[in-house]
Amino acid sequence: MSSENAKALRDELAEQARVLQTAVDAVDAAAAARLGVNRTDLACLDVLMQRGSAAPSELGTALKLTTGSVTTMLDRLVRMGYLTRTPDPADRRKAVIRTTEEACRELIDIYGPLAEEGRQMIDRYSEDEVRLLLDFMRNSREIQERHMARIVP
């Protein structure tokens, strides 16, 4: 492959990564609108779907929110029926936050078909190609995280 063709391919890959980021952002905006929540609320629901449960302090750290902001967000999501807040059995002064069955159903309804179609797409690739894609995704995430820290110290 000529260096000109290689450069064109690299440029196209960079452009497609940028366009993908915009598309993911648009899907998340649509999901938040459908649920009637803001993007931070959606990120909270995502953290809880990944972890199963979390303490308010863990959510604050994950979402980079102050204690007061976490409390306000949790109050709103509990009122909407998306979260439960129960005493921690190990320390009743603390709370355990979980998504409700309703929230899980809504999130699976929104993101389930997307995840399934993505899984079908990944299944087309060989093991070596998946390793390459994983390397690209991990490095891309690390770049994003480094620059987030640079932008918001």
Give per-residue pLDDT as tens, 16-39: 999 999 999 999 999 999 999 999
Domain ranges of the chain: 3-122
Question: In CATH, which of 3.40.50.720, 1.10.10.10, 2.60.15.10, 1.20.200.10 is domain 3-122?
Answer: 1.10.10.10
Q: Which amino acid would we find at residue 35?
A: L
The two most distant CA atoms of the chain are separated, in Å, by: 66
Angle at 14 between CA 10 and CA 19, to 5 degrees: 145
pLDDT recorded at residue 121: 97
pLDDT recorded at residue 152: 84
Q: Each residue's pLDDT tens digit in the chain (153 positions)?
A: 678 899 999 999 999 999 999 999 999 999 999 999 999 999 999 999 999 999 999 999 999 999 999 999 999 999 999 999 999 888 888 899 999 999 999 999 999 999 999 999 999 999 999 999 999 999 999 999 999 889 986
pLDDT recorded at residue 65: 95
pLDDT recorded at residue 1: 67
**What residues contact 99, with CB distance under 8 A and at least 6 apart?**
45, 48, 49, 82, 83, 84, 107
